[in-house]
């Protein structure tokens, strides 16, 4: 401890000691007593808040959030402040003791060292944050390459080293001295002469001022000014060009960056309050690349006003979209979110302030500063005039029009039209077109919005519809009389804003307000499209699409839409048994269940077997599996065949559409193997066309040439081409290798051949090679299997054996057919004394060969679980009651188990689903796709397959549209689907019906 009072001075913010002014210190202490109390209060508050706040930041950034460059800066800044806060109690004690230091020389040095180091570190981290923000926004390409977390830690280490070095004078010169009855902690610049002490003091002050203030202030100011200038120049250039499109081009070049992007939420607040940050919000991104992209886009937003209300939109946004962003609905007829802009109905006219004429909101991009008036006198008058012209030739058919109650023209004429008509001339009449058995045309009602034309050419991929004539003679039709040949044709009924295109099967049957609507899913293919079932009086009246962006968007196939009449025909409504003469006769449930129980009690082990069909739900699958397992049998098979060699069905990734239905849009190269997705999975095919149309997706096909809705490169009909691609000798191997997101889709039908295992092995090798050579990220799935039936994935998940070969080789004494109607096994395949039980909802292929028939419920008559081809579990809902004595499948099986003496441990639907969760939890995670992995392991297992591919062509079962309409018991029972097949083969005139007036 120094005893002299002649040291140079005490350079410290908490205590100043100059040369020998000891008496003045006593006076100052008394005068500043109030200030000392205030200081203590501030220090205590800072200690509490700093400890909690900085501790929380450290905990979140270090352990809860993903490490990014920004989180590294925040973590180190918080650490510096946290350490400083930990030493605040020493200052508080120092002041409370009236500046008496009671902690020794070492702590005096350490305390001062920490204080100075915190000052340097905090300022330097703030400086680096400012420079980093400038670089990441202005030098985008450079920051994407070099702005990494590892380099950020290196910079932080350097900052800590510099801060520690600059703080060393505190360790050297800090000392304690007894002053009267106190010990003070001060800077002891004691030297041989006063000049040396003064120079030391001046040097330290100069370093602190330069490094701690001047340099950081300059760096922060310069970067801020540069960002402001750059933002001003770019905005000025955009205004000079006079177009919002120029701004969007600047974004694509990575040039449009503004200071507004500096106001980003820190990663800490996003981690603490994730629910408060939505997709539309501005949040700090998880990595440098997405951060730069997001801030670049945000910086280029254009401000416009809708009825005086400001809104920020991206360049290129239409006036209609800007209005919808603030909740203002603009009337429209021709505009549709999923179709190209036509701009021909003019119903969306709005007034732009200082623009002489109204503009079409759907086709006009916004410009900066526009004030859009959606309800001005000019806007209302323009819409009224457009509506008057639309109604001039429109017939007054509302009482007999099937669009009534759902008609956009009705609704908008009431809201935007006039209460009187000035048109006194004769109305125009247009001849109706016969475009098939599904769509009814009343073309006099058409307002030429061209939605149907654009849907056919853009979504469906057929050029059947178009316009002829002009002006008052403009008509929509097929030019030459022909059928609208598309598996998605029924969707034009939904998008038609008037009653020009309506459903023929639904004509004059019901009004929308009379029906009860039930949300459900379709099970007629493996896509699992979301639907709405409209019912009245216990009868399905129609089926409409339900929006689901992950699966079917807002479209459904014609089979899904129109096959519902098959639910009313050929139904099994009561139990039946075969009498002595071989005829199936009705009986009671008690009688039939007793007979079934008697047959099952007399067999053991694999003497009882089961085959399940393509429409069976997961609840029935698990019930049947549990029943046979309790009878010591594991002979459970599906009608669909899947190769078991190699990985088989042991790995879920081996039999799923792993990329996902929506994910196919991101692909840039697609290889189709032995499939025709246009008719096997129409909505999946629509996604492929969307990628082909908008993202330059390159498609190739191995298999029989088919008529797809997009162009493709045909690589050959035989599976030999697959082996060439797998070995790398085929030219297409190089295309896959260069792809950024390659996808291989193999149809389940080609895997049912004798060489199915070899085909699967070749496809697996191709997918694995493409993954390795293209360098695609691990999250991208290359291998995909496209199934055709709704029950196959759930059956494989539950351990069912694909195919019935084991049953043919070892025929059972009792065979349980659960909805098995694919004719995969016949009576001739079984011994004459075999006892066959058929359980299903239609008298199709399986029922006539049965000894006992148990009537089940169809998918619209039960709450059940189905898993689509991508592994997504979904539920059907009860829309109508099962007809007659029919019951849900799992309930029938549960009743059988009780009579057999092996009662299943569930009585309710929830208990059945609990059992599903025990066996395969993904089956009850509804609307969720569990990520599949182990592709490499599956490929390794496939290499053990010792089988050669056959030379026969890979021919999908649904080769043409004729094969699309009738593929299952429901569609085969549908008269509408039968008419479609007849119309395709014989022409639309073959199914003409007399007009109903």
Q: Are residues 205 and 165 in the same domain?
A: yes
pLDDT of 228 reads 82
pLDDT of 8 reads 35
pLDDT of 199 reads 80
Residue 634 within any structural domain of the chain: yes
- Average pLDDT over every residue of 777-806: 92
pLDDT of 286 reads 38
pLDDT of 193 reads 65
Using the predicted structure, report yes or no on whether residue 13 has a pLDDT greater than 50: no
- Average pLDDT over every residue of 26-31: 50
Using the predicted structure, report yes or no on whether residue 140 has a pLDDT greater than 70: no
Q: What's 804's domain CATH number?
A: 3.40.50.740
Using the predicted structure, report yes or no on whether residue 144 has a pLDDT greater than 80: no
Using the predicted structure, report yes or no on whether residue 23 has a pLDDT greater than 90: no
- Average pLDDT over every residue of 455-472: 92
Q: What b/e sequence results for 470-492 when a residue is b if at least 16 CB atoms lie within 10 Å of its CB, and e otherwise?
A: eeeeebbbbeeeebbbbbbbbbb
Using the predicted structure, report yes or no on whether residue 847 has a pLDDT greater than 60: yes
Q: Which of 17-21, 503-507, 735-739, 744-748 has the lowest mean pLDDT?
A: 17-21
Residue 431 within any structural domain of the chain: no
Q: Sorting pLDDT into bands at 50, 70 and 90, what band is 31?
A: low
24 against 459, higher pLDDT: 459
Q: For the segment 208-219, what is each residue's pLDDT rounded down to a tens digit?
A: 888 878 888 888
Q: What's 57's domain CATH number?
A: 1.20.1070.10
- Looking only at the bridges linking them, the beta strands covering 814-818 and 669-673 are unpaired
- Average pLDDT over every residue of 255-272: 32
Q: Are residues 192 and 165 in the same domain?
A: yes
Please give the backbone phi and psi of residue 19, each rounded to the nearest 5 degrees, phi first: 40, -85
DSSP per residue, 731-770: THHHHHHH-SSEEEEEETTGGGSTTHHHHHHHHHHHHHHH
Q: Are residues 777 and 801 in the same domain?
A: no
- Average pLDDT over every residue of 688-713: 94
Q: Sorting pLDDT into bands at 50, 70 and 90, what band is 721?
A: very high
pLDDT of 365 reads 94
Using the predicted structure, report yes or no on whether residue 25 has a pLDDT greater than 70: no
Q: What's 950's domain CATH number?
A: 3.40.228.10
Q: Among residues 161, 186, 212, which one ends one of the domains?
A: 212
Q: Are residues 879 and 947 in the same domain?
A: no
Q: For the segment 915-970, what is each residue's pLDDT rounded down to a tens digit?
A: 999 999 999 999 988 887 766 777 677 676 777 888 899 999 998 999 999 999 99
Q: Are residues 127 and 171 in the same domain?
A: yes
Residue 218 within any structural domain of the chain: no
Task: Give the percent of the chain with pLDDT over 70.
Answer: 87
Q: Among residues 212, 236, 251, which one ends one of the domains?
A: 212
Stated length of the chain: 997
Q: Are residues 68 and 203 in the same domain?
A: yes
Using the predicted structure, report yes or no on whether residue 674 has a pLDDT greater than 90: yes
Q: For the segment 545-571, what is each residue's pLDDT rounded down to a tens digit?
A: 999 999 999 999 999 999 999 999 999
Residue 862 within any structural domain of the chain: yes
281 against 745, higher pLDDT: 745
- Average pLDDT over every residue of 894-904: 95
Query: 601: domain range?
Result: 576-646+793-924
Contact of 627 with 896, CB cutoff 8 Å: yes
- Average pLDDT over every residue of 868-882: 96
Using the predicted structure, report yes or no on whether residue 738 has a pLDDT greater than 60: yes
Q: Sorting pLDDT into bands at 50, 70 and 90, what band is 986?
A: confident
Q: What b/e sequence results for 542-568 when a residue is b if at least 16 CB atoms lie within 10 Å of its CB, and e otherwise?
A: bbbbbebeebbbbbbbbbbbbbbbbbe
Q: Are residues 847 and 895 in the same domain?
A: yes
Using alpha carbons only, give the angle 980, 986, 989 rounded to the nearest 5 degrees.
80
Q: For the segment 409-420, what is each residue's pLDDT rounded down to a tens digit?
A: 999 999 999 888
DSSP per residue, 692-742: HHHS--EEEEESS----SS--EEEESBTHHHHHHHHT-STHHHHHHH-SSE
Using the predicted structure, report yes or no on whether residue 250 has a pLDDT greater than 70: no
Q: For the segment 966-977, what is each residue's pLDDT rounded down to a tens digit?
A: 999 999 999 999
Q: Are residues 669 and 781 in the same domain?
A: yes
Bridge partners, residue 852, by sequence: 577, 837
- Nearest Cα neighbor of 841 from 862, 824, 825, 823 is 862
Q: Sorting pLDDT into bands at 50, 70 and 90, what band is 244?
A: very low
230 against 670, higher pLDDT: 670
Residue 121 within any structural domain of the chain: yes
Q: Are residues 715 and 622 in the same domain?
A: no
Q: Is 150 helix (H, G, I), strand (E, B) or coil?
A: helix
DSSP per residue, 360-377: ETTTPBP-TT-EEESSSH
Q: Are residues 849 and 779 in the same domain?
A: no
CB atoms near residue 447 (< 10 Å) = 23
Residue 894 within any structural domain of the chain: yes
Residue 198 within any structural domain of the chain: yes
- Average pLDDT over every residue of 716-735: 91
Q: Are residues 642 and 712 in the same domain?
A: no
Residue 409 within any structural domain of the chain: no
Mean pLDDT of the chain: 85
Q: Are residues 634 and 686 in the same domain?
A: no
Q: Among residues 212, 227, 247, which one ends one of the domains?
A: 212
Q: For the segment 42-56, what is each residue's pLDDT rounded down to a tens digit?
A: 878 888 888 888 888
pLDDT of 910 reads 96
What CA–CA distance (Å, rounded) separates 521 from 527?
Answer: 10
The total domain count for the chain is 3
Contact of 191 with 197, CB cutoff 8 Å: yes
Q: Which residues contact 744 (CB under 8 A, 6 or more apart)?
A: 670, 671, 673, 763, 766, 767, 770, 782, 783, 784
């Amino acid at each position: 401890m120094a005893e002299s009072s002649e040291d140079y001075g005490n350079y410290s913010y908490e205590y100043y000691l100059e040369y020998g002014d000891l008496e003045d210190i006593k006076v100052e202490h008394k005068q500043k007593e109030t200030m000392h109390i205030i200081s203590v209060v501030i220090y205590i508050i800072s200690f509490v808040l700093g400890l909690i706040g900085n501790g929380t930041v450290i905990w979140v950034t270090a352990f809860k959030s993903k490490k990014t460059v920004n989180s590294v800066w925040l973590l180190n800044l918080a650490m510096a402040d946290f350490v400083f806060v930990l030493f605040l109690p020493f200052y508080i004690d120092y002041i409370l003791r009236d500046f008496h230091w009671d902690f020794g020389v070492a702590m005096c040095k350490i305390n001062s060292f920490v204080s100075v180091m915190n000052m340097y570190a905090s300022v330097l981290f703030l400086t680096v944050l400012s420079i980093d923000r400038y670089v990441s926004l202005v030098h985008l390409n450079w920051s994407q390459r070099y702005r990494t977390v590892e380099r950020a830690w290196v910079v932080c280490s350097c900052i800590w080293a510099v801060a520690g070095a600059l703080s060393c004078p505190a360790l050297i010169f800090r000392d304690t001295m007894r002053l009267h009855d106190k010990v003070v902690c001060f800077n002891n610049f004691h030297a041989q002469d006063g000049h040396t002490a003064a120079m030391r003091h001046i040097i330290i002050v100069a370093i602190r001022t330069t490094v701690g203030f001047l340099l950081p202030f300059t760096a922060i100011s310069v970067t801020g000014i540069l960002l402001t200038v750059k933002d001003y120049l770019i905005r000025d250039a955009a205004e000079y060009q006079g177009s919002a499109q120029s701004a969007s081009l600047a974004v694509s070049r990575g040039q449009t960056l503004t200071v507004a992007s500096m106001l980003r939420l820190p990663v800490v607040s996003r981690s603490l309050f994730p629910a408060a940050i939505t997709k539309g919000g501005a949040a700090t991104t998880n990595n440098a690349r997405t951060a730069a992209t997001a801030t670049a886009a945000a910086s280029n937003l254009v401000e416009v006003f809708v009825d005086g209300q400001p809104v920020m939109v991206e360049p290129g946004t239409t006036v209609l979209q800007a209005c919808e962003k603030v909740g203002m609905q603009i009337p429209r007829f021709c505009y549709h979110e999923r179709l190209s802009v036509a701009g021909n109905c003019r119903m969306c006219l709005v007034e732009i302030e200082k623009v002489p004429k109204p503009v079409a909101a759907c086709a006009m991009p916004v410009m900066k500063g526009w004030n859009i008036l959606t309800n001005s006198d000019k806007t209302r008058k323009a819409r009224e005039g457009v509506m008057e012209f639309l109604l001039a030739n429109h017939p007054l058919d509302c009482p007999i029009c099937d669009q009534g109650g759902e008609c956009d023209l009705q609704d908008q004429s009431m809201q935007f039209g006039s209460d009187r008509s000035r048109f006194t001339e004769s109305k125009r009449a247009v001849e109706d077109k016969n475009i098939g058995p599904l769509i009814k045309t009343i073309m006099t009602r058409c307002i030429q919005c061209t939605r149907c034309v654009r849907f056919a050419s853009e979504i469906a991929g057929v050029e059947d519809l178009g316009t002829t004539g002009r002006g008052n003679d403009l008509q929509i039709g097929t030019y030459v009389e022909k059928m609208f040949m598309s598996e998605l044709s029924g969707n034009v009924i939904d998008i038609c804003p008037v009653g020009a295109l309506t459903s023929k099967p639904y004509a004059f049957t019901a009004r929308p307000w009379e029906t009860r609507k039930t949300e459900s899913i379709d099970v007629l293919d493996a896509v699992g499209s979301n639907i709405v079932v409209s019912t009245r009086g216990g009868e399905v009246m129609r089926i409409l699409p339900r929006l689901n962006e992950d699966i079917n968007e807002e479209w459904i196939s014609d089979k899904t839409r129109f096959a519902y009449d098959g639910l009313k025909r050929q139904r099994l409504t009561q139990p039946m048994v075969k009498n002595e003469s071989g005829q199936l006769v009705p009986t009671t449930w008690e009688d039939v269940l007793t007979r079934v129980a008697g047959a099952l009690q007399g067999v053991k082990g694999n003497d009882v077997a089961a085959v399940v069909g393509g429409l069976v739900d997961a609840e029935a699958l698990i019930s049947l599996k549990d029943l046979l397992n309790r009878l010591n049998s594991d002979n459970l098979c599906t009608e669909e065949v899947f190769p078991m060699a190699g990985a088989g069905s042991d790995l879920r990734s081996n039999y799923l559409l792993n990329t996902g239905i929506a994910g196919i849009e991101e692909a840039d190269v697609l290889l189709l193997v032995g499939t025709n997705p246009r008719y096997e999975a129409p909505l999946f095919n629509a996604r492929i066309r969307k990628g082909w149309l908008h993202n330059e997706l390159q498609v190739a096909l191995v298999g029989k040439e088919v008529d797809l809705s997009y162009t493709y490169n045909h690589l050959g009909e035989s599976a030999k081409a697959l082996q060439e691609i797998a070995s790398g000798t085929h030219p297409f191997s190089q295309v896959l290798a260069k792809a950024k997101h390659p996808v291989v889709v193999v149809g389940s039908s080609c895997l049912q051949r004798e060489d199915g295992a070899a085909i699967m092995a070749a496809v697996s090798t191709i997918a694995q090679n493409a993954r390795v050579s293209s360098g695609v990220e691990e999250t991208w799935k290359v291998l995909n299997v496209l199934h055709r039936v709704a029950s196959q994935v759930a059956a494989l998940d539950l351990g069912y054996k694909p195919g019935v070969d084991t049953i043919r080789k070892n025929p059972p004494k009792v065979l349980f057919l659960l909805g098995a109607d694919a004719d995969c096994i016949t009576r001739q395949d079984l011994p004459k004394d075999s006892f066959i039980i058929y359980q299903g909802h239609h008298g199709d292929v399986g029922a006539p060969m049965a000894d006992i028939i148990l009537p089940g419920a169809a998918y619209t008559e039960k709450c059940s679980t189905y898993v689509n081809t991508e592994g997504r579990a979904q539920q059907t809902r009860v829309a109508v009651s099962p007809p007659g004595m029919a019951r849900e499948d799992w309930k029938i099986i549960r009743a059988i188990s009780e009579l057999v003496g092996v009662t299943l441990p569930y009585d309710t639907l929830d208990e059945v689903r609990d059992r599903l969760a025990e066996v395969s939890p993904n089956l009850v995670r509804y609307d969720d796709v569990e990520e599949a992995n182990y592709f490499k392991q599956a490929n390794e297992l496939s290499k053990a397959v010792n089988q050669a591919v056959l030379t026969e062509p890979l021919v999908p079962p649904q080769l043409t549209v004729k094969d699309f309409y009738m593929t299952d018991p429901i569609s085969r029972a549908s008269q509408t689907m039968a008419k479609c097949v007849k119309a395709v083969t014989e022409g639309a005139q073959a199914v003409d019906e007399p007009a109903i007036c």
